[in-house]
């Protein structure tokens, strides 16, 4: 059974050393206006970084990222879409990047997704910025369906990195929902995703907080995260 969000917040505060400590470990998402300022290249870069970080050492990807920008024209979709298969294969062997041919292919595929969705929704930033947070799982589904390797947590983590308000399906979040018997079976089944979304929607009505803040606080209320660790898992 789910708790009132006030109970979750109280437990997180107890574990972290007070409400002030909890607040210091949370942050707010960007506004719609701020999200609209992003370019298509910004989004392609964000998706590509998360694709390469998936299953890999994030620190290494960060160290190589300047090279990625050099090799892939600062992720300008219109330039990426001009690359032939042969040219893309050549770039996949460039020592300035992480040489993973399959992941390199996703850069062009996701450039195509961004281009197509931009035509359908005025701009890609407009699509993301105006998407209702109380149905964020449908945006995840869209990215998975139309994009390349953006399923699982990859798309959601990219959205979070860019400041779009979203909860995350971290190990701690999963532990909470399973521990309170709110879900069973596969975490990312449509039924479970709808249950998790509905519960966050209810908590949002109770707390007035963003989904990003709530997700972080729920994670801090369970699991192996520790006092003062700003990068505790969520």
Supply the pLDDT for residue 2: 85
Average pLDDT per block of 10 residues along the chain, 234 residues long: 95 96 96 98 98 94 97 98 97 97 98 97 97 98 98 96 97 95 96 98 98 97 57 47
Domain 33-162 has what CATH class?
mainly alpha
Supply the pLDDT for residue 8: 98
Burial class (CB in 10 A: 0-12, 13-18, 19+), 126: middle
Supply the pLDDT for residue 231: 38
Supply the pLDDT for residue 228: 38
Q: pTM for the whole thing?
A: 0.93
**Domain regions of the chain by residue span:** 5-29+167-220, 33-162
Residues 6+ apart with CB under 8 A from 177: 183, 192, 195, 196, 199
How far apart are the C-alpha atoms of 184 and 196, rounded to whole Å?
A: 11
């Amino acid at each position: 059974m789910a708790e009132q969000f006030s109970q979750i917040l109280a437990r997180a505060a107890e574990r972290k050393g007070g409400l002030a400590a909890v607040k210091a470990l949370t942050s707010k998402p960007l506004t719609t206006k701020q999200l609209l300022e992003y370019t298509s290249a910004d989004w392609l870069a964000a998706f590509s970084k998360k694709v390469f970080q998936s299953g890999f050492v994030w620190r290494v990807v960060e160290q190589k990222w300047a090279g990625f920008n050099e090799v892939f024209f600062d992720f300008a979709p219109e330039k990426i879409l001009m690359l032939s298969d042969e040219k893309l294969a050549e770039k996949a062997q460039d020592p300035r990047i992480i040489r993973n041919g399959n992941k390199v292919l996703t850069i062009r595929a996701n450039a195509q997704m961004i281009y197509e969705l931009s035509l359908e929704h005025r701009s890609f930033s407009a699509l993301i910025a105006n998407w209702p947070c109380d149905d964020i799982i449908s945006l995840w589904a869209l990215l998975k369906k139309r994009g390349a390797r953006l399923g699982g947590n990859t798309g959601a983590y990219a959205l979070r990195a860019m400041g779009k308000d979203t909860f995350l399906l971290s190990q701690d979040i999963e532990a909470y929902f399973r521990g309170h018997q709110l879900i069973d079976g596969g975490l990312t089944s449509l039924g479970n995703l709808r249950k998790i979304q509905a519960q966050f929607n209810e908590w949002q009505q109770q707390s007035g907080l963003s989904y990003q803040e709530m997700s972080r606080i729920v994670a801090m209320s369970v699991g192996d995260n520790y006092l003062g660790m700003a990068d505790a898992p969520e």
